[in-house]
Amino acid sequence: MSAVVLLHEQIAANRRAYQRCVALLVGGLALFGLLVTLVLGLGVGGLGAGLGLAVLVVGFAPGVGERAALRDAGADPADPERLPRYHNLVNGLCQAAGLPMPRLYVVDSDAANAFSVGRDPERAALVVTRGLLAGLNRVELEGVLAHELNHIWSWGARLATLGVALGRVPGLLRLVAPPRREFDADEGSARLTRYPPGLVSALRKLAAGEPPGPPNLRHLWIVAPDDDTRPPLPERIAALQEL
């Protein structure tokens, strides 16, 4: 399967998942409005208010989630003069794929990790830690960056960003950050870089570390041990080795 075909399949799957989340959210708020209507005798006003609130939440949640994630992670814009390798690698991957380049951020942490957030491929951010930039060689770093870019281009980052905005609602993260999305992004990275061993080596280096930042961001990081929204690393590595 080519990288383009794979990306289109991922986009379709992530859009369906996003639509399911939106439907659940709208249905839940509409039900809340209906209950308020019945209790207070507001007629259709309560139901209309619930639907109106749902529209506002759906419209603003991705942007709110993106800003919250960058703030809570302590991410700062990455200076291209101080971090040229970071900018050059991302720019090269974006040019190779013919897809937009996200804004680049860095977290001042020795932990080696990365995540991506955004509303759509044109309005997204890629975040790495200084530990990742210092601890990985070029091919390993390229594999991680390609993984996060795949989340952005496949609209998977929008799903995960929605999870930040809405919090850890029981069961919600299973919809916005299903374990399958990590396998898909790993494969997308391997197809883009044409070198699966690079990401395999990176994942092995990241396996022992803990992601920085608060618990509400754990589902975003490429590696987060014991997080139930992602598959075990040995399974991800085995899948990469079969490509």
> What confidence tens digit (pLDDT) does each residue in 11-25 have?
888 788 777 777 777
| Ramachandran quadrant class, 88 (left: phi over 0; alpha: psi -120 to 50; beta: rest) | alpha
Q: Among the options 140, 148, 182, 187, which is catalytic?
A: 148
pLDDT in tens, 45-61: 556 666 666 667 667 77
Cα separation of 239 and 232, whole Å? Answer: 11
pTM above 0.85, yes or no: yes
Residues near 225 by beta carbon (within 8 Å), at least 6 away in sequence = 207, 210, 233
148 is catalytic: yes
Coil, strand or helix: which one is 126?
strand
Range 109-123 average pLDDT: 94
Q: What is the pLDDT of residue 67?
A: 93
Closest listed residue to residue 156, CA positions, set 134, 189, 132: 189
